[in-house]
Structure formats: C-alpha cells, structure tokens
A and B are shown apart, each in its own frame.
Chain A
Amino acid sequence: DIYMTQSPSSVSASVGDRVTITCRASQSIGAWLAWYLQRPGKAPQLLIYNAAALQRGVPSRFSGSGSETEFTLTISSLQPEDFGTYYCQQCNSFPLTFGGGTKVEI
C-alpha cells in the first residue's frame, strides 16, 4: 500500500494569508495525486487532480505542484470559505489512500 503523509496537521491562518500544505507519498506515484477540501459538516470537494490541474469551478488562488513523492497545495490568498480540512489522495493504484488531513483554521 502507498502511505500518504501530510504536513502540517493543522495551521492557523488569517484571511489574505498564503498557505502551503505538503503531502508525501511512501513511493513514487508520478503525478497521480488529488487534493480535496472538506468544510465542517460537508462532503469533500475535489480541488486539484493530476497534481496540478484545477478542477472546474475551483478558484485560481488554489494551485498544486510536485511529482513522484512530494507534492504541495498552495492557497495564494486565503478566503473565509477556504477554512476546513484539506486531504491529499494518491490516485496511482489500489488501494486508494488519503493523507491524514491538514486543518486550516483561523
């Protein structure tokens, strides 16, 4: 199985801040990585797929980068609706696995 490790596990930030979250895979997954945001009490939503491709409807302040084993999600200017928990997920092979999550809070 491929294990996904996110850091930090939580981050306190303010509106307008630049936030960066890192995700590491236990083995190479190429660019087969997705990022999700889960707002409190809601289902997750897809933000980024293929490591850097923005899902339709997702604001351009979100960006993804990386390949092989190290990946980054960046929010260029945090907005109130961006608070919640972010998850990375490897899409390379089954079993599909998620990182433990990064909680972004005020």
Chain B
Amino acid sequence: EVQLQESGGDLVQRGGSLGLSCAVSGLSFKIRNMNWVRQAPGKGLEWIAYISADSSTLHYADSVEGRFTISRDNGKNALYLQMSGLRDEDTGVYYCVVVGGGVALSFYYGMDVWGHGTTVTVSS
C-alpha cells in the first residue's frame, strides 16, 4: 500500500520559517515526480511546487517563488518543503502528492496519490 505521511506543520509567526517533510513508502520513490499542494481554510486547492524524480527540474507557483524550496532525498524516500518569510496567506493544509495517473509518471497525467496533509498556521 502506498503511504505518504507529512509532518512538520505548526503554528509559526508571520515572517518566520518552517520545514515540512513527507515520508513515502509503498512505491518506487526515486522514479516519481512530486508536488506540494496546499489548501487554505475553506478554500480550493493550490499547487505550489514540483520536483522531478532526479531533482533536476523544479517549478514553483508565483505565490511562493523565492520563499519556499522543494527538495528530496531519494535514499530516504523523503520529500521536503522549506518555507521562509511566511505570510498569513500561507496558512492551510499542505499535501505531499505523487505525480502521475494510470501507469504514466508525467505531470501531464495528474496527481494520483495524496498524503493526509499537515497544517501550517501563520499568525502574528
């Protein structure tokens, strides 16, 4: 069974920093591209960051570019999101997500496995 377990969510002050982790099991992590997707309270889904399987390609949403950094450790089957300069609008649930659909591994095919999410609250 594929499992994604996010951790690191916390209450943090505006302007502060926080690191999220995602432990992945049950699939060949080293060949899977990964996303972080977040959801503000009562709002819709927002994609924020992508990393290719070999870490050679990174993409960020404009809303987090320059403040957030996605990374991975294929030896540890782990995905990370380092966040700095946190703002009120960064509050929400952060999901670790495996890219792909069906037997395809590309971002063209959606996002087929989601973690349960970890909650980040930014407050003054």
Contacts and interface: CB of A to CB of B under 8 A. Distances in A.
Interface of A: 32, 34, 36, 38, 43-46, 48-50, 53, 55-56, 87, 89, 91-92, 94-101
A100 B44 contact: yes
Contacts of A48: 110
A95 B59 contact: yes
Interface of B: 35, 44-47, 50, 59-62, 95, 101-102, 104, 107-112, 114-117
Nearest to A54: B102
A33 to B, nearest CB: 8
A1 B108 CA distance: 16
Given A34-B109, A44-B114, A49 B45 contact: no
B110 A46 contact: yes
A55 B67 CA distance: 34
A59 B115 CA distance: 22
Contact of B102 (A36, A55, A89, A95): A55
Nearest to B93: A43
A46 to B, nearest CB: 5
Contacts of B110: 34, 36, 46, 48-50, 55, 89, 91
